[in-house]
Structure 1
């Protein structure tokens, strides 16, 4: 293989390792909710904030990512993101609610930068393989989320780590990501924006297509972060043990890996992306309806379908950023604004879901809220699936 081919393979590996690290610090929280509540006495609404705060950081910081790349370059900004992520994870090991929530905000800032940068890197480095590479890194996002969900309770209880070190354990892997990305700094160049950030944001804010991409990103994230925060609690209320509920969440996100890999690779070859969106939303609606019915029958099957739908929706949201833009600069700009708008919307989800349950005391009411968002997701995804450019 040529030196350039070797470089591209190493870059794909680095992208995959980074993607693996962008979800565990969030998805590890859900299975540990009961243990954290027992130890800290926090309410369901405050516990929901442990998932909400990182997503809120995504929403606030995503749009400002170009300001970092202008000063540090894309590769330098990614390195900063990984260091911030590692620091935030380690802060949560320190006793006290201030460190728990403060570390959560900090790691959210690191993830926000990484989220925005990856689509632009793919657009620039792999312009003829966008669907494949998007599927690879979105699949690794799902693998990281699935693994962290499944091993959180065993790490805390069986290995004796306790919930704090079960959350802090993932700093080991984010440190590996730092080392994996380090060679890419040799090719770090200052990003010269073709147009001022304000002008780019103004143009995108006037694009209906950009808004639909952003709303689809928000609606799918709204559902995703609610599920990873609260699915174990919902399943335990249906009669499943805490450890089994954690593994069911792991299965859900593991099936999401298939969705994130398969759906972008399929959808990229189509004239428009309407049919993939319709298939995903039908699966999601059927899964949510089943969760409203008491009992434990077919839990694995339904959770798998829900995971495939959520993973596929996330993969489609990332693919829309790439397909609806003409170059890497536009992809970075659309990525920033869509993730800012989308994650700001999604940030309300986990705490809202917990608050609605606190009021209703039954899971059918907050699950019904998710059904409504499924139809909103179908509407925005259908529009975003039109063959056009922002």
Structure 2
């Protein structure tokens, strides 16, 4: 087939199909650049003489960028358009990956920040785009892009140690470019969708919806804190799980592979919850269940590290479920794309501000106590709080309904 004929065939693909593919490929770039660092922390500590806290910054800095930039992402999306802003986010991710792999110690940290800025834009605006363009399929689309995130993160975690041994840590850190480059090409070709019936309905919905100031909403705070503490656990494990496993006697290769198992397991809730959530009146029991699973696995890894495969797989299921529910809440608890963007901005600002300190604090506690037991005990205790917040955030009503109920008390 000639290049012209191939281009003509591609051009006939419906714009909605382009958008679905672009969303999934973009989602693949939202965790893999971060999770691929953790198995290399020991290598980077040796190469640059870093302390545990300094090494923890390599996963905390992107999370801090998420927190600092999330408040501005909705305004950028409104001013420039969602598609253009998401394209800008991908450009920043690509530039950050190149700088991180080639710029020495300064480039390692600066590239990490730049990459985090790009991911922050996509983190906030993808739920809004899904609410706008797939208003009747919020749960299914959120599950699909959560699966894409989990699979890509698992691939990055499981392969990075082998890449380091074969090509060196610079090439291992640059490997996510294989995801970023095709995503950039695809988003450059995604058209701004015309206003089909779904978008017209979403526009009418936005006009009719009651806009609730999210920072004054009790339900918005519950959603945000549920996401924040879940994210804190996620990034502590993304950063330090390989070190925990190596301290328990596993080889670096085995620890990296189990880190990949955890990331792979985060994708499974997307398959299980997509058909279930739309049929439920609320998500309280689901939220409490994933929190209990995370707490149980923290205790299991502390008391019985020989069953590390079971605990890491369970961690992935619990973390994947909690993060998926957090993303779903942004669409399910709002009545319009604008409200979804506002809640997403708040949840990710507050949530990632909490999460940013997790890896640094965990590294400091381990250094002071000389072991991971206090960290795992703290994670188990935090899971109880996450369960309570999930029971509140999982109630089946919107911000407007919650505000009205409080007004009538």
Distance 1:294 1:76 in 2: 49
Distance 2:317 2:305 in 1: 22
What displacement does 1:265 show?
Answer: 3.7
- Residue in 2 aligned with 1:9? 17
- Listed one character per residue, the Cα deviations across residues 29-60 of structure 1 (whole Å, up to 9, x for unaligned) are 11011111111110000110100000000001
Which moves more between the two structures, 8-17 or 245-254?
8-17
- Residue in 1 aligned with 2:403? none
- Residue in 1 aligned with 2:285? 275
Where 2:267 maps in the other structure, the secondary structure is helix
- Residue in 2 aligned with 1:251? 261
- Listed one character per residue, the Cα deviations across residues 221-255 of structure 1 (whole Å, up to 9, x for unaligned) are 00001101100000011111001100101011101
Distance 1:343 1:268 in 2: 27
**Structure-2 change in CA distance of 1:95 and 1:181 (3 Å):** closer
Query: 205, 210, 224: which is aligned to 2:215?
Result: 205
Distance 1:81 1:95 in 2: 20
Distance 2:13 2:119 in 1: 28
Query: 370, 375, 388: which is aligned to 2:384?
Result: 375
- Residue in 1 aligned with 2:143? 135
Which moves more between the two structures, 299-308 or 109-118?
299-308
Matches within 5 A, 1:1-390: 6-157=14-165, 159-160=166-167, 162-187=168-193, 203-293=213-303, 295-296=305-306, 298-390=307-399
Where 2:81 maps in the other structure, the secondary structure is helix
* TM-score when normalising by structure 1: 0.93
Check whether the contact 1:260–1:313 (CA below 8 A) recurs between aligned residues.
no
Check whether the contact 1:231–1:249 (CA below 8 A) recurs between aligned residues.
yes
Check whether the contact 2:64–2:356 (CA below 8 A) recurs between aligned residues.
yes
* TM-score when normalising by structure 2: 0.89
Structure 1 spans left out of the alignment, 5+ residues: none
What is the root-mean-square deviation in Å for CA atoms of aligned residues? 2.0
Check whether the contact 1:264–1:319 (CA below 8 A) recurs between aligned residues.
no
Structure 2 spans left out of the alignment, 5+ residues: 1-10, 196-202, 400-409
What displacement does 1:7 show?
Answer: 2.3
How many residues are treated as equivalent by the alignment? 378
- Listed one character per residue, the Cα deviations across residues 95-134 of structure 1 (whole Å, up to 9, x for unaligned) are 4211100000000000000101111111111111111111
